[in-house]
Structure 1
């Protein structure tokens, strides 16, 4: 799933619904709907923090969309990723075969070199290649 943008406020995990930008030359904070792309000098805010926003003394707040902020609808990519996740979860798990009781008797370890083992072929009696 594509990353859902979260509120920029520390320890807030809510979904962002508004974008805050500052115009320092005019001492203005501009709060509007969630921007299409996350910008490095903008702050994404959840509905709670967007409603509680205050500006420093002497600054003005311009609210571009008065009223309720709503989270953006899921994108086409989000829906495809969700469908893929559901298909993957519904797929049956591969069955494990029961251990072969003759497997240990079928080959004999002849030597070791680090984590590698040299096994002897039980039929021919020679080390396996």
Structure 2
């Protein structure tokens, strides 16, 4: 894997990934997300991929899934994350709680590479709720 990060102006940068995708970042958070916000998004995205994939394999009728990620940072420089909480809101038809619980647990303990990398220095917690689809 690789990425190239190119300075645009002020504290705005564009990252181009090895797969050719681009992501904009802004240290001032005026034109794009900050790099630290993208770390939270990466944790939520990686875990969400796992959760949805596991639920689909369990033949759960999921119509939506969102991951609300909250991070707390140290007060000193470097202001690293000290705690990250991922709350999954799974929407679907007759989605079984036991399947969602298992999917979240498997993502946290086994599959999410981003979470596994972060857990060495960050306290990661997870929760979920289920909403019935119309």
Structure 1 length as normaliser, TM-score? 0.28
User: Normalized per residue, which structure has more helix?
Assistant: 2
Structure 2 length as normaliser, TM-score? 0.28
Structure number with greater Rg is: 1
User: Normalized per residue, which structure has more strand?
Assistant: 2
